[in-house]
């Protein structure tokens, strides 16, 4: 970390003038133990799963959309695929539990179960299934590390998952659902009211323990959230930097940090979501977003959008364009 900071300060520019981009490179150096930071090989993990709570009218589409987008991700024709090509990033869609999904070309099969239960009626999944999903996320990171990845971006696809994410955020942040729940993919006022009421019922019925993130995930979360929680844990375990995407991804990151505070060492915030609790969750994580663009697409689109910014930062970092070479006196910290 100190070596990376020293290198930044040797370059012919005002100290710290690239702001969070400098801090991101320094954090990666600290995580990997190597100041020669390179991000040549990158992949986006898009965890796909369905959520039984859609039965409560909390979305404007049904669960069939999850399978349709998962297939498009595998074929390279979903929105984030086009963005990822610009960022030279491989897209890896993962079926964690898409409802009645027979599989599709290009989609990894890591199914834990066929969708979750309706959280307004019962727990989303068993504790054992939740742990398996978390372990699956960690395993995905190990596989990517062994394949040579230098950085991972996180994404998700699952109709109804802003509802589950808001439920988890409500419990972990100790805030009422109305303060952390947004319109997701575009709900009407009536739809938003149904969504908030569904989250209130889910928390009342299941009584998740805020001191036990696995209990919270298993009772009011989803398979995509649990898998992403494992991805963030795996990032710290295998010393691989992980880009947090938007609100859903950040809620999973919060679960990981509550399980193991060291998980935060691997996290970089790509952007702040337009969802009401987007910034609240990042603040709780102590992360500052690289991008503020009111993104709310999901699929890892914000995480992928941050990669070119990191590329530009590294172009300067490796430039060797120092004060000495410029024949200039170096900037010094001023009190």
Q: What is the DSSP code string of 249-318? A: HHHHHHHHHHH-GGGGGGEEE-B--SSTTHHHHHHHHT---SB-S-----TTHHHHHHHHHHHHHHHHHT
For the cut 80, the answer to whether the pLDDT of residue 335 exceeds it is: no
Band (pLDDT 50/70/90 cuts) for residue 327 is confident
Which of the following is catalytic: 23, 156, 275, 299? 299
Band (pLDDT 50/70/90 cuts) for residue 95 is very high
Structure-token pair, residue 295: 């993104």
C-beta of residue 315 within 8 angstroms of C-beta of residue 308: no
Q: What is the mean pLDDT of residues 224-244?
A: 98
Of 275 and 207, the structure prediction assigns the larger pLDDT to 207
- Give the sign of the dihedral formed by CA 286, CA 246, CA 114, CA 230: negative
Task: Pick left, alpha or beta for residue 115 (phi over 0 → left; psi -120 to 50 → alpha; otherwise beta).
Answer: left
Bridge partners for 199 per DSSP? none
Structure-token pair, residue 209: 């323990």
Strands 90-97 and 242-244: unpaired
Residue 301: partners with Cβ closer than 8 Å, 6 or more residues away: 79, 80, 83, 155, 245, 295
- For residues 250 and 228, give the distance between their C-alpha atoms in angstroms, rounded to a whole number: 9
Lowest-confidence region among 110-124, 175-189, 298-312: 175-189
Band (pLDDT 50/70/90 cuts) for residue 325 is confident
- For residues 94 and 6, give the distance between their C-alpha atoms in angstroms, rounded to a whole number: 40
Helix, strand or coil, per DSSP, at residue 207:
coil
Q: What mean pLDDT value characterizes the chain?
A: 96
Lateral strand order in the sheet of 242-244? 108-109, 90-97, 42-49, 151-157, 242-244, 267-269
Q: What is the mean pLDDT of residues 75-79?
A: 98
∠ Cα 225 279 62 (to 5°): 45
CA distances from 304 to 61, 148, 318 (A): 25, 18, 22
Condensed to tens digits (0 to 9), the pLDDT of residues 181-202 reads 988 877 888 888 999 999 999 9
C-beta of residue 111 within 8 angstroms of C-beta of residue 95: yes
Q: What are phi and psi of 36, to 5 degrees?
A: -85, 75
- Is 299 one of the annotated active-site residues of the chain? yes
Strands 242-244 and 151-157: parallel
Bridge partners for 92 per DSSP? 45
Per-residue pLDDT, 213 = 98
- For residues 25 and 46, give the distance between their C-alpha atoms in angstroms, rounded to a whole number: 24
Helix, strand or coil, per DSSP, at residue 167:
helix
Helix, strand or coil, per DSSP, at residue 27:
helix
**Residue 122 burial (CB < 10 Å; 0-12/13-18/19+)?**
middle
Lowest-confidence region among 23-27, 148-152, 179-183, 323-327: 323-327
Domains of the chain: 40-309 (3.40.50.10210)
- Give the sign of the dihedral formed by CA 179, CA 130, CA 270, CA 89: negative
């Amino acid at each position: 970390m100190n070596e990376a900071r020293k290198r930044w300060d040797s370059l012919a520019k005002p100290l710290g003038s690239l702001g969070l981009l400098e801090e991101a490179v320094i954090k990666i150096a600290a995580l990997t133990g190597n100041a020669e930071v390179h991000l040549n090989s990158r992949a986006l993990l898009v965890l796909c799963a369905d959520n039984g709570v859609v039965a409560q009218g909390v979305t404007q589409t049904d669960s069939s959309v999850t399978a349709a987008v998962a297939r498009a991700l595998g074929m390279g024709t979903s929105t984030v695929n086009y963005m990822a090509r610009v960022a030279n990033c491989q897209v890896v869609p993962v079926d964690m539990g898409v409802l009645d999904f027979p599989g599709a070309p290009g989609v990894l099969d890591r199914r834990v179960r066929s969708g979750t239960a309706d959280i307004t009626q019962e727990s989303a999944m068993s504790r054992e299934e939740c742990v398996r999903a978390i372990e699956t996320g960690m395993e995905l990171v190990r596989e990517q590390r062994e394949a040579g990845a230098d950085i991972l971006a996180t994404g998700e696809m699952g109709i109804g998952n802003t509802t589950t994410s808001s439920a988890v955020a409500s419990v972990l942040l100790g805030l009422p659902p109305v303060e952390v729940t947004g319109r997701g993919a575009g709900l009407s006022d009536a739809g938003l009211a149904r969504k908030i009421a569904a989250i209130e019922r889910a928390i009342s019925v299941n009584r998740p323990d805020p001191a036990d993130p696995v209990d919270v995930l298993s009772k009011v979360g989803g398979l995509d959230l649990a898998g992403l929680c494992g991805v963030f844990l795996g990032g710290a375990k295998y010393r691989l930097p992980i880009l947090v995407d938007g609100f859903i991804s950040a809620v999973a990151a919060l679960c990981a940090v509550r399980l193991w505070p060291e998980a935060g060492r691997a996290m970089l915030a790509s952007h702040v979501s337009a969802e009401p609790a987007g910034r609240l969750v990042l603040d709780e994580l102590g992360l500052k977003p690289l991008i503020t663009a009111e993104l709310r697409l999901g699929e890892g689109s914000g995480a992928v959008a941050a990669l070119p910014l990191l590329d530009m930062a590294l172009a300067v970092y490796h430039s060797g364009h120092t004060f000495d070479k410029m024949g200039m006196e170096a900037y010094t910290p001023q009190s």
